[in-house]
Amino acid sequence: MLQKPEPFVKPDMIFSVSDASALLKNVVETAFPVIKIRGELSQITRASSGHTYMTIKDAGAAMSVIIWRGTPVKFALTDGLEVVITGRLTTYPARSNYQMIASDIEMAGVGAILKMLEERKQKLAAEGLFDVSRKKPLPKLPQTIGVVTSPTGAAFQDIQNRLRERFPVHVLLYPATVQGNTAAAEVAAGVEYFNREKNVDVIIVARGGGSLEDLLPFSEEIVVRAVANSKIPVITGVGHEPDWMLVDFAADFRAPTPTGAAETVVPTKLSLIQDLDNIGHRINTAFIARLGQIKQRITSINIKSPKQVIMERAQRIDDVSRTLGIMINAKLTDARAKIKMVKKMPDVLTNKMGNLRNAIEHCGQMLNSLGYKNVLARGYAIARDENNNIISSVANADKIANIEFADGVANLQ
């Protein structure tokens, strides 16, 4: 149980406001040079100066907290997150309140971290960053490998050693811190650098093992988005076998360790030799089978002698000659028939002309016998009116203007 300190200010002492505030500030800072406080974050505000102002609270009280610019924070601060803040207590005389200056902040237990990671995972998964359709195939034999990790860490050494053992390739390192408040931004910058330069065939993002808090930078959104948006295939090897960071879900392939990432990205010399042997065996088998097919085709070919070929050609010529002779004779016969018909044309025309003359004479006779002049010659006459219309009724006799006879016309007017 906390002990109540003995009072050292006498009841008859009089202080100015500034002196009393300074005395109180000194007492608080002296009594609480270092203190750890557990609670829930709220009212988080990041000022343009770079300082962060927030409140830590529980069910019964609340306290103001300041994180000065440059103070390392390993994870993103959000309202409702339960944390343990290490710092010192002080007062702010201008507003007569007390506050805490934070020097370190960590999540309050693994449970809180896992809850935060699960919520973030669901958010990023809903955006499609973990979809299998986004996964890119790894190159079979990469020429250059980009590695994003700490240059002094064991992870980079393990990767290099395993690559030399299996299949030596060119390695480009993008140095990045893998722990602390700047780690996430540096790892993301490394992935973006290789995509921008397009100077590697595959990227390995790696770091060795550590606590869950140490591995948190590899679950930050900036890293997950950089890996998900990479046009170059990305392999992750973060921590150990049980460790799954959010970046592993966005990567094209997740290896359990940095060494496992190196083993994934290149084959062993022995496996390559075995692959070459298998390919050579398949080629040899296919060649032998093809050669057997060609031999069978050659054997089945029936080669004729030159004399036989000439005789067959001569026979075809004879057949063509007979066919041409038949066609020519038919054409000649048809031509002779047409010539005979042409020779008979004068007689035919003479007969036609005679028939036409007889028909004309007959028509003339018919015309003469049927003409009205002949009728008039037999004693008939035609009466017409002044318009030369024939009058055929007694009723119109008074309109007779002239009468036509066989030898002429008599006018009655």
Whole-prediction pTM: 0.50
Among the listed residues 84, 38, 34, the one whose alpha carbon sits nearest the alpha carbon of residue 59: 38
Contact predicate 99/65, CB 8 Å? yes
| DSSP output for 355-405 | HHHHHHHHHHHHHHHHSHHHHHHTT--EEE-TT-PBP-SGGGGGG--EEEE
Distance from C-alpha of 176 to C-alpha of 146, rounded to nearest angstrom = 12
Contact predicate 179/152, CB 8 Å? no
pLDDT at 4: 65
CATH for the 115-131+138-267 domain, from 3.40.50.261, 3.40.50.1170, 1.10.287.3510, 3.30.499.10: 3.40.50.261
For 180: left if phi > 0, alpha if psi spans -120 to 50, otherwise beta; the answer is left
pLDDT at 323: 87
Superfamily of the domain at 17-108: Nucleic acid-binding proteins (2.40.50.140)
Distance from C-alpha of 127 to C-alpha of 134, rounded to nearest angstrom = 12
Buried b (16+ CB within 10 A) or exposed e, 271-308: eeeeeeeeeeeeeeeeeeeeeeeeeeeeeeeeeeeeee
Distance from C-alpha of 37 to C-alpha of 331, rounded to nearest angstrom = 124
Element (H, E) at 273: helix 269-299
Span 344-385, pLDDT tens digits: 777 777 888 888 888 888 887 777 777 777 777 778 888 888
Distance from C-alpha of 226 to C-alpha of 191, rounded to nearest angstrom = 6
Main-chain phi, psi angles of 148, to 5 degrees: -110, 105
3-state SS assignment for residue 276: helix
For the chain of 413 residues, list the mean pLDDT of each consecutive stretch of 10: 66 79 79 86 89 90 90 80 87 82 81 78 90 91 92 90 87 91 91 94 90 83 93 91 85 92 81 73 84 79 71 82 86 84 76 85 77 77 86 83 84 78
pLDDT at 157: 92
pLDDT at 94: 77
Burial class (CB in 10 A: 0-12, 13-18, 19+), 318: exposed
pLDDT at 304: 65
